[in-house]
Amino acid sequence: MKFAIIDDWSDALWTLPCFAKLDGLDVAVFNDHVDDPAARADQLAAFDAVVLIRERSRITRRFLEGLPNLKLISQFGKYPHIDIDACSDHGVLVCSGKRSHAPSHAAAEHSWALIMSAMKNIPGQMQNLQNGKWQQGVGKGLFGRRLGLYGYGRIAKRVAEYAEAFGMQVEWWGSADGRARAQADGRRIAKDRADFFAENDIVSLHVRLTPETRGIITAADLAQMKQDALLVNTSRSALLGPDVLLQALDAGRPGAAAIDVFDEEPIFWRDDKLACHRRVIATPHIGFVTEEELEMQFSEVFDQVVAWYKGAPINMVNPAVWQPVSDDA
């Protein structure tokens, strides 16, 4: 059997300790980015199983039609990028592990790193120093400032711990259910949505992308923000409508943004107006790309591959597809 790992753009997975779990299997790793689904299908036509790296690849019905040998897709986390019904119709088993109750420390840490970098304008100061300029501009401290967290999940709670350690005031907003849970935990809730965006010095988004949350942050929300406020987004770009953030920055509210996510990925810096905006600090969706996070995720993903290979699949999304081979066969 042939196994493929695709979209390993940073050529990192083979360096992880958990990669040894695949010893003895015929594994190919693809580091390239392929935009054309037909070209990718041609590349993978001979493979029996494919490992995905999050939602870097979209698995559609048409894509599956070009993969006659495919029997397994193994990945980690949510799967809005996979047409599960189409996989079932084509006899492709999808296995996807889930995170435990522990937060994603990597994502929370990256959110905090962006906040620190933006408030101190570290990228700008580094560029100034490299250009022979000393102490150009003035940064902002965090102590006593207000951080607004949109979404009441594990990552946001971890970011709140960092903020409180720095002496910040933390305020919450989000869905009615999220606000109720936050209030039950004794958290400070904004008096209303408008006040949340208007009064906080930093607003950081921590919401899963679903059909209900797509475009949930509007131009009207951003127009409420202070002229020197910072918007942070390490969740998903589509929480805002197309060009909403770019237009808001050009209009002067918020004053800056720090982002790790884009509408289309990967992007190339000089081709993206948001990434090269003078009031944006942008990173290439690396919030989850740490040794520890990748080891945790792909240890599970590779366990799924090995379990399927041995005839006892785990974490099945569409178990009706699985047909164990009889000993008499």
- The full 3-state SS of 215-243, as one line of letters, equals CCECHHHHHCCCCCCEEEECCCHHHECCC
The verdict on 70 and 183 lying in the same domain is: no
The verdict on 86 and 130 lying in the same domain is: no
Classify residue 328: in a domain, yes or no: no
The verdict on 78 and 130 lying in the same domain is: no
Number of domains the chain is built from: 2
Classify residue 326: in a domain, yes or no: no
Classify residue 276: in a domain, yes or no: yes
Query: What CA–CA distance (Å, rounded) separates 21 from 114?
Result: 34
Query: What CA–CA distance (Å, rounded) separates 242 from 86?
Result: 28
The verdict on 168 and 74 lying in the same domain is: no
The verdict on 242 and 229 lying in the same domain is: yes
Backbone angles phi, psi at 284, to 5 degrees: -85, 60
Query: What CA–CA distance (Å, rounded) separates 74 from 27?
Result: 13
The verdict on 270 and 125 lying in the same domain is: yes
Range of the domain at 248: 105-282
Query: Do you find a cis peptide bond into 242, omega within 30 degrees of 0?
Result: no
The verdict on 80 and 120 lying in the same domain is: no
- Decide if 146 contacts 169 (C-beta within 8 A): yes
- Decide if 266 contacts 35 (C-beta within 8 A): no
The verdict on 136 and 76 lying in the same domain is: no
Beta pairing partners, 295: none
Classify residue 133: in a domain, yes or no: yes
**Coil vs helix vs strand at 172:** strand
Query: What CA–CA distance (Å, rounded) separates 40 from 58?
Result: 11
The verdict on 136 and 267 lying in the same domain is: yes
CA 103 to chain centre: 13
Classify residue 143: in a domain, yes or no: yes
Residue 329 pLDDT: 37
Closest CA to 152 of 190, 119, 116: 190
CA 267 to chain centre: 15
Instruction: Read off the CATH number of the domain in which 47 is found.
Output: 3.40.50.720
Classify residue 267: in a domain, yes or no: yes
The verdict on 196 and 122 lying in the same domain is: yes
- Decide if 317 contacts 83 (C-beta within 8 A): no
The verdict on 24 and 132 lying in the same domain is: no
The verdict on 33 and 154 lying in the same domain is: no
Closest CA to 187 of 172, 200, 199, 205: 172
Classify residue 157: in a domain, yes or no: yes
The tens place of each residue's pLDDT in the chain, 329 residues long, gives 999 999 998 899 999 999 999 999 999 999 998 888 899 999 999 999 999 998 888 999 999 999 999 999 999 988 989 999 999 999 999 999 987 666 679 999 999 999 999 999 999 999 999 999 999 989 999 999 999 999 999 999 999 999 999 999 999 999 999 999 999 999 999 999 999 999 999 999 999 999 999 999 999 999 999 999 999 999 999 999 999 999 999 999 999 999 999 998 888 767 789 999 999 999 999 998 899 999 999 999 999 999 999 999 999 999 999 987 544 43
Strands (E) in the chain, as ranges, are 2-5, 26-29, 49-51, 72-76, 93-97, 146-150, 169-173, 202-205, 230-233, 256-259, 280-282
Classify residue 329: in a domain, yes or no: no
